[in-house]
Amino acid sequence: MIENKLGFADSAELAREEERISKRAALRMYDEGFLDTLEAGTFAALAAIHARLFGEIYDFAGKIRTVNIAKGSFRFAPVIYLANAVAEIEKMPQSTFDEIVEKYVEMNAAHPFREGNGRAMRIWLDCMLKGGLHKAVDWSRVDKDDYLLAMERSPIKDTEIKLLLKNALTDDITDRELYMKGIDNSYFYEGYSMYRTSEF
């Protein structure tokens, strides 16, 4: 159980509130034009997105993690190397689709935050795609199982995730409904599906 500002000791209760609060925050970021103020592809942008999503819930929101974490048998970047890894990733080019996805894959392998990496990073990815290519991912066209498997394999070979995301690109980058559906799908990948973003 992760320590939280809400005082929940039950992980199911925490998950419900985390979804509700952070989805509402995701919608506010869009409606307020906050995402357009960020320098796409920087760690500062990713940290700002993470802080806005989870700031009401966790003290560590937007802060680089201080504990080692793993998912299954995959260990994310050790804390001792994390700050350097993030600085190197930030320097990676992002002028083409392939470069943007490669940068996204590397940041995912680093996993800079204690919790909420995937949800924050998918918004960060769309900021890079919008800023550089005037495109975004229509996440409703990306199957959960295909995505998770492709991301699991991406540190070794990123061909699958590139193909999956390329096939879901849209140039409809100002569509609020598309953004909301994207948030819902992004959360669904992580097992959160109690609320729809359109309810807020």
Token digits for 78? Answer: 């050790």
The end-to-end CA distance of the chain, in Å, is 27
* Residue among 62, 80, 78, 82 nearest 70 (CA): 78
On whether the pTM is more than 0.85, the answer is yes
Question: pLDDT by residue (tens digit) across 8-67?
Answer: 999 999 999 999 999 999 999 999 999 999 999 999 999 999 999 999 999 999 999 999
Query: How crowded is residue 24: how many other Cβ atoms within 10 Å of its Cβ?
Result: 16
- The predicted structure's pLDDT at residue 188: 97
d(CA 158, CA 160): 6
Q: Which domains does the chain have, with CATH numbers?
A: 11-199 (1.10.3290.10)
What amino acid is encoded at 175 in this protein?
Answer: D
- The predicted structure's pLDDT at residue 72: 80
H helices of 32-173, in order, are 43-54, 79-90, 97-110, 117-133, 144-153, 159-166
Question: pLDDT by residue (tens digit) across 83-108?
Answer: 999 999 999 999 999 999 999 999 99
Query: How crowded is residue 19: how many other Cβ atoms within 10 Å of its Cβ?
Result: 18
Q: Assign 114 a pLDDT band (cuts: 50, 70, 90).
A: very high
Q: What value does the mean pLDDT of the chain take?
A: 96
Phi, psi values for residue 157, rounded to 5°: -145, 120
Q: Assign 2 a pLDDT band (cuts: 50, 70, 90).
A: confident
3-state helix, strand, coil in the chain (%, to 5): 60, 5, 35
